[in-house]
Amino acid sequence: MMDYQSLLTDCIRDIKPSGIRRFFDIAAEMDDVISLSIGEPDFKTPWHVRQEGIHSLEKGHTHYTSNSGLLSLREGISSYLNRRFGLSYRPKDEILVTVGGSEAIDLCIRSVISSGDEVLIPEPSFVCYEPITRLAGGTPVIIETKAENQFRLTPQELKEKITPKTKLLILPYPNNPTGAIMRREDLEGIAQVLRETNILVLSDEIYGELTYNQNGHTSIAQIDGMQERTVLVSGFSKAYAMTGWRLGYLCGPAPLVAAMTKLHQYAIMSAPTTAQYAAIEAIRNGDEDIVHMRDEYNMRRRLLVDGLNRLGLSCFEPEGAFYCFPSIQSTGLTSEEFCEQLLYTQHVAVVPGTAFGGCGEGFVRVSYCYSTNHLIEALHRIERFIEDHKGRKSHA
Amino acid sequence: MDKLLKLLDENARLTNAQLASMLGMTEQDVADKIKELEKDGVIRGYKPIVNWEKAGRECVTALIELKVTPKRDLGFDEIARTILAFDEVESVYLMSGGYDLAVTVNGKTFQELAMFVAKRLSPLDSVLSTATHFILTRYKERGIALNDVPTDERRFFEL
């Protein structure tokens, strides 16, 4: 008999499975669940983009591409980053096309982190940074961002966690799950702390295009002196509704990109070819699609934020991504209790804030990548839940 | 203004409060705008999209192609106005191409519609010819699929 447990490394064994598995099982038993718990666009990939994927297949482009990705795609990414953010990256050796933003994150962490290195991770945030750091032998150092700072990372919080072992700062903005963004002046403050150090920034800007304030998204790479110490990670999934195509990219200093390309070459070979051809079309001619989808998300965002605030689930204004992060403290419930009871009694699924780090306690993540009608119905149900809960509380 | 109309076009039952939230306006502003749009005749009415088959009502619709003689000075407007005044008529469009007016007509039975064409439409002075096409199945009406419920193939939970 094989003893599989003894085959596994301590590290992989110690990684906890996702905290929301339990909710998934409960919801699977119900047939009228309204879900507000997904992190991907409801839009389909714009037709002209899909068509380019189809054309590439018709023409027989079914082989590997160069390890770094098609040069014309890297050129497209370079010119996009230039026209949108005034950044300049050389297509030849400063851009690598990856399998989603996720692979880019993995490559970056594994290329720079080894045993004893510390990685600063602001939380609440997406769930992959910590396990990947651990797998690389590094030590995750959590920075708990606060609701009163609108979940932005402050220079002070950053400074307090820096040690001689600190090698990498993850900068996950616009943020999943909070919807927080870092404005230019916030980034200036972070830059000021980092400029004197040898700390690298992994800036996960996958939601960059989904920023709803007037100035739009600012990348930390735009701040003076920061491009040379930043690996910018982004991709096509959120901006162009291309989650299933699995295509992202990273941009950074050539010596780092060369190292990450080695890892990518051995682990992945190259990103999917069909997706790369479709992405060329997206990045060249997809600006209008982004505007259209962003406008749509923005209306839903306002509807949901207003709706939740009206129900007493106070919600700071999320300026990015497609999530709200309301406080549920007025109910007296923990995040997990709130989500579980809401699911059992009203069949509405939202994600406990604690799934994104301990400091998410007292909050839940509500996604608005759903139709208005879906959101309105969900708000009705949440309202019933709050009323019933109040009733029960005053009864007790 | 455009955004307000677009939202109402998608769902005319959104409340003023919901519209106000989505558009970043006050409820009063929304109410005023809608009133203005109604007064100016930009918004002509609000109707649900009904799957009558499901509602259990017998209903037949025909699309009738009409060739007509336009009148001097009045063009097609006069005959179009005459036709749109019939209660049975749901829509009247002036068309480019092989015929002039496209008219959709509702009735309870095929017989009823046939009689309407024979007795009311065809005898009109300007009408040269008619071709009646009965609608057999309605799949989609004003952007909404009547029978297919859209499915969400996304996974249920995702972080």
Q: Is there a domain that residue B7 lies in? A: yes
Q: Are A166 and A297 found together in one domain? A: no
Positions of chain B with pLDDT lower than 50, given as ranges: none
Q: Are A178 and A216 found together in one domain? A: yes
Query: Residues of B with CB below 8 A from A372's CB?
Result: 7, 10-11, 14, 18, 22
What is the per-residue DSSP string for A253-285?
-HHHHHHHHHHHHHHTSS--HHHHHHHHHHHHH
Q: Do A302 and B18 touch (CB under 8 A)?
A: no
Task: Tally the domains of chain A.
Answer: 2
Please name the residues in contact with B120: beta carbons below 8 A apart, sequence gap of 6 or more: B86, B88
Q: Are A252 and A363 found together in one domain? A: no
Q: Are A294 and A229 found together in one domain? A: no
pLDDT at A226: 98
Angstroms from A32 CA to nearest CA on chain B: 12
pLDDT at A396: 64
pLDDT digits (tens, 9 = 90+) for B122-139: 999 999 999 999 999 999
pLDDT at B1: 65
pLDDT digits (tens, 9 = 90+) for B66-84: 999 988 888 899 999 999 9
3-state secondary structure labels for all residues of chain B: CHHHHHHHHHCCCCCHHHHHHHHCCCHHHHHHHHHHHHHCCCCCCCCCCCCHHHHCCCCEEEEEEEEECCECCCECHHHHHHHHCCCCEEEEEECCCCCCEEEEEEECCHHHHHHHHHHHHCCCCCEEEEEEEECCCCCEECCEECCCCCCCCCCCCCC
Q: Are A19 and A52 found together in one domain? A: no
User: What number of other Cβ atoms are within 10 A of residue A180's Cβ?
Assistant: 29
Q: Is there a domain that residue A395 lies in? A: no
Q: Which residue from B minimizes the CA distance to A379? A: B18
- Residues in A whose CB is inside 8 Å of some CB of B read 18, 20, 23-24, 27-28, 33, 35, 37-40, 42, 126-127, 176-177, 299-300, 302-303, 305-307, 349, 351, 355-356, 372-373, 376
The domain boundary residue, chosen from A252, A267, A285: A285
- CA dist A149 and A152 (Å) reads 6
Residue A12 identity (one-letter amino acid): I
Q: Are B33 and B72 found together in one domain? A: no
Place of tokens 């079914």: A62
Q: Are A223 and A88 found together in one domain? A: yes
**Successive 10-residue mean pLDDT values, chain A, 396 residues:** 93 84 84 91 97 98 98 98 97 98 98 97 97 96 97 98 98 98 98 96 98 96 98 98 98 98 97 98 97 97 97 95 97 96 96 95 97 95 95 78
Q: Are B58 and B131 found together in one domain? A: yes
Structural domain that includes position A104: 47-285
Mutate to test the interface with B, among A130, A303, A380 (most CBs of B within 10 A): A303
Q: Is there a domain that residue B72 lies in? A: yes
How long a stretch of residues is chain B?
A: 159
Measured between CB atoms, does B157 come within 8 Å of chain A?
A: yes
- CA dist A60 and A57 (Å) reads 5
Q: Is there a domain that residue A86 lies in? A: yes
Measured between CB atoms, does B10 come within 8 Å of chain A?
A: yes
Q: Are B34 and B101 found together in one domain? A: no
Q: Are B68 and B89 found together in one domain? A: yes
Q: Do A372 and B159 touch (CB under 8 A)?
A: no
Query: Residues of A with CB below 8 A from B10's CB?
Result: 372
Q: Do B7 and A355 touch (CB under 8 A)?
A: no
Q: Are B74 and B125 found together in one domain? A: yes
Q: Which residue from A minimizes the CA distance to B13? A: A373
- Is A167 in contact with A118 (CB distance < 8 Å)? yes
Q: Is there a domain that residue A37 lies in? A: yes
Q: Is there a domain that residue A202 lies in? A: yes
Q: Is there a domain that residue A396 lies in? A: no
Q: Are B56 and B125 found together in one domain? A: yes
Q: Do B158 and A40 touch (CB under 8 A)?
A: yes
Q: Is there a domain that residue A70 lies in? A: yes
Structural domain that includes position B13: 2-39
Task: Tally the domains of chain B.
Answer: 2
Closest CA to A274 of A11, A87, A29, A54: A54
Q: Are A11 and A135 found together in one domain? A: no
Of A177, A305, A351, the CB nearest to B157: A351
Q: Are A52 and A193 found together in one domain? A: yes
Place of tokens 């509602």: B55
Query: Residues of B with CB below 8 A from A127's CB?
Result: 159
